[in-house]
Amino acid sequence: MNNKNKSCLTTIPVFIATFLIAFSTSVLAENKPEPIKVGVMLPFSGVYAGLGDSIRNGLKLALQEKGYKASGRLIQLVEVDTEAKPARASELTLGLVDNDKSDFVIGPVHSGVAMGMINTIRNKDSIMIIPNAGANAATGAFCQPNVFRTSFSSWQTAYPMGKEAANMGYKKIVTLSWNYGFGKESLAAFEESFVAAGGEVVKKILVPFPKTEFQPYLTQIASIKPDAVFVFFAGGGAVKFVKDYDTMGLKGKIPLLGSGFLTEGTTAAQGKAAEGLLTTLHYADTIDSSKNKKFRADYKAKFNKSADLFAVQGYDAGQLIIQAVEAVKGNIEDKAALIYQMELLEIDSPRGKFRFSKAHNPIQSIYLRKVVNGLNTVVKESVTNLEDPARGCKL
Ligand code: BEZ
């Protein structure tokens, strides 16, 4: 045998071995399920950056508890910053849905961004999970089979406070918020129950979003001298408003009430100015359940800060994805079956267990809370299992 033939014989086994390895790797790859892609569309800059950060932390905590896996499929996150700008909603949603092929899109915080996302995601295969934005229409007139919310409607968070305010004996109230959808809906929901209980809104003040120069409005309130003031502000705006209210000497004179966002995730920065404030929300730091205590302890250990409602809503978005994927045994490609299973789920939330309404909004209890030593403390359950009226939803 010449040298050329010998070298041919030694290369054949090497070739076969290489072929077998390549073949088995590709078969394995074929059997390995595709990762589940989750687009995360939140504000990581701007006045709502703190809220976006808490939601992302909560989401990560829920996914980490399951090793970032559901039904054997890996869960991958793709993050984008909305900057809380409605004008960017459509372009960012299309990027996550069409380019990144996200199975789920979690977001946003701001109601205006939510409406842009919903318009873009309708008729797409991705499932949108809203972990904050409260626009009533999201689970009302614009409800969609592929849109779920783990947070609240504007109506749910403000309606109970109208009745509470009347029970406290207030007759004439000034309402105030940023001038955009969520703020206006919060004031309307408050007014609905306050007026029904015999109260009167003597002045409604709207401040351009996201402006935080509140002094002229506070001067106006001081001259009106109402029995109390009801407001919606959140994030950096809530910190500034509560401090200004105190600094201008109104706190001791005219009681300040709010939907709970006024003191949610903000009390450390608001300091003594927040002490004693009363708000209504579907969460309180001191909810006395083992689920809430464990959640708060785990969150603190992982992120070295206290959990808030926004973290709860992100955590529940993560729980929802895991439970939904497990309910369809990983076969999320059958969207109708996936949505059907999501509608049946019960979420064991730190806020208390909840189910979804027909319009895909949580049916949940609302707490009256008081800030005590920087904590949003339960005063009482104001309404048990409050369901949003879902006005205009045809699901
Ligand atoms: C909203 O725009 O829906 C919203 C923003 C911050 C806190 C609560 C609601």
Tell me: pLDDT of 76 over 90.
yes
Q: Is residue 294 part of a domain?
A: yes
Report the alpha-carbon distance of residue 87 to residue 39 in Å, rounded.
18
261 close to ligand 1 (CB < 6 Angstrom): yes
Residues 266 and 296 in one domain: no
Q: Is residue 203 part of a domain?
A: yes
367 close to ligand 1 (CB < 6 Angstrom): no
109 close to ligand 1 (CB < 6 Angstrom): yes
Tell me: pLDDT of 27 over 70.
no
Report the atom number in ligand 1 closest to the C-alpha of 84: 2
Residues 192 and 148 in one domain: no
Q: Is residue 19 part of a domain?
A: no
Show which of 281, 314, 331 is a domain's final residue.
281
Structure tokens at 103: 């199975």
Judge residue 288's burial from the number of C-beta atoms within 10 Å of its C-beta, 0-12 exposed, 13-18 middle, 19 or more buried. Answer: exposed
Residues 6+ apart with CB under 8 A from 218: 244, 245, 248, 250
Closest residue by CA, ligand 1 atom 6: 234
Count CA within 13 A, CB hemisphere, residue 216: 7
Ligand 1 centroid, distance to 13 Cα (angstroms):
66
Q: Are strands 69-70 and 73-81 parallel, antiparallel or unpaired?
A: antiparallel
Q: Are 105 and 117 in contact (CB under 8 A)?
A: yes
Tell me: pLDDT of 364 over 80.
yes
277 close to ligand 1 (CB < 6 Angstrom): no
133 close to ligand 1 (CB < 6 Angstrom): yes
111 close to ligand 1 (CB < 6 Angstrom): yes
Mean pLDDT of 201-229: 98
pLDDT of amino acid 104: 98
Residues 138 and 167 in one domain: no
Residues 108 and 174 in one domain: no
Ligand 1 centroid, distance to 88 Cα (angstroms):
17
134 close to ligand 1 (CB < 6 Angstrom): yes
- Boundaries of domain holding 44: 36-152+287-356
- Across-strand partners of 230? 175, 257
Total count of domains within the chain:
2
Averaged pLDDT of the chain: 94
Show which of 240, 260, 281 is a domain's final residue.
281
SS3 content of the chain, % helix, strand, coil (to 5): 45, 20, 30
234 close to ligand 1 (CB < 6 Angstrom): yes
Q: Are 42 and 52 in contact (CB under 8 A)?
A: yes
Structure tokens at 140: 């009302």
Residues 271 and 161 in one domain: yes
Mean pLDDT of 188-209: 98
Q: Is residue 332 part of a domain?
A: yes
How sure is the predictor about 30, in pLDDT bands with cuts at 50, 70 and 90?
Answer: low
339 close to ligand 1 (CB < 6 Angstrom): no
Ligand 1 centroid, distance to 16 Cα (angstroms):
62
Tell me: pLDDT of 257 over 50.
yes
Number of H helices, E strands in the chain: 12, 15
Q: Is residue 304 part of a domain?
A: yes
Ligand 1 centroid, distance to 65 Cα (angstroms):
27
Residues 182 and 277 in one domain: yes
Count CA within 13 A, CB hemisphere, residue 185: 20
How sure is the predictor about 32, in pLDDT bands with cuts at 50, 70 and 90?
Answer: confident
How sure is the predictor about 12, in pLDDT bands with cuts at 50, 70 and 90?
Answer: very low
How sure is the predictor about 11, in pLDDT bands with cuts at 50, 70 and 90?
Answer: very low
Residues 138 and 100 in one domain: yes
Residues 115 and 166 in one domain: no
Mean pLDDT of 130-157: 98
Residues 191 and 251 in one domain: yes
38 close to ligand 1 (CB < 6 Angstrom): no
Q: Is residue 9 part of a domain?
A: no
Tell me: pLDDT of 8 over 80.
no
Show which of 221, 246, 281 is a domain's final residue.
281
Alpha carbon distances (Å) from 368 to 228, 253, 276, 384: 16, 21, 12, 11
The CATH number given to whatever domain includes residue 74 is 3.40.50.2300
Residues 134 and 159 in one domain: no
pLDDT tens for 300-309 read 999 999 999 9
Name which of 109, 13, 11 is nearest 54 in CA terms: 109
233 close to ligand 1 (CB < 6 Angstrom): no
Q: Is residue 116 part of a domain?
A: yes
pLDDT of amino acid 358: 98
pTM of the model: 0.92
Closest residue by CA, ligand 1 atom 3: 133
Mean pLDDT of 47-58: 97
Mean pLDDT of 344-368: 98
182 close to ligand 1 (CB < 6 Angstrom): yes
Instruction: Give the distance, in angstroms, between the CA of residue 166 and the centroid of all CA atoms in the same chain.
Output: 29
Bond from prior residue into 35 cis (ω within 30 degrees of 0): no
Instruction: Residue 292: count other Cβ atoms within 10 Å of its Cβ.
Output: 20
Residues 221 and 130 in one domain: no
Mean pLDDT of 290-316: 98
Q: Is residue 111 part of a domain?
A: yes
- Across-strand partners of 352? 349
Name which of 260, 256, 227 is nearest 241 in CA terms: 256
Which percentage of the chain shows pLDDT scores above 70?
92
Closest residue by CA, ligand 1 atom 5: 110
How many residues would you count in the chain?
395
pLDDT tens for 108-141 read 999 999 999 999 999 899 999 999 999 999 999 9
Nearest-10 Cα torsion for 60, 358, 134, 315: -10
Residues 130 and 172 in one domain: no
pLDDT tens for 219-256 read 999 999 999 999 999 999 999 999 999 999 999 999 99
Report the alpha-carbon distance of residue 324 to residue 317 in Å, rounded.
10
Q: Are 101 and 38 in contact (CB under 8 A)?
A: no
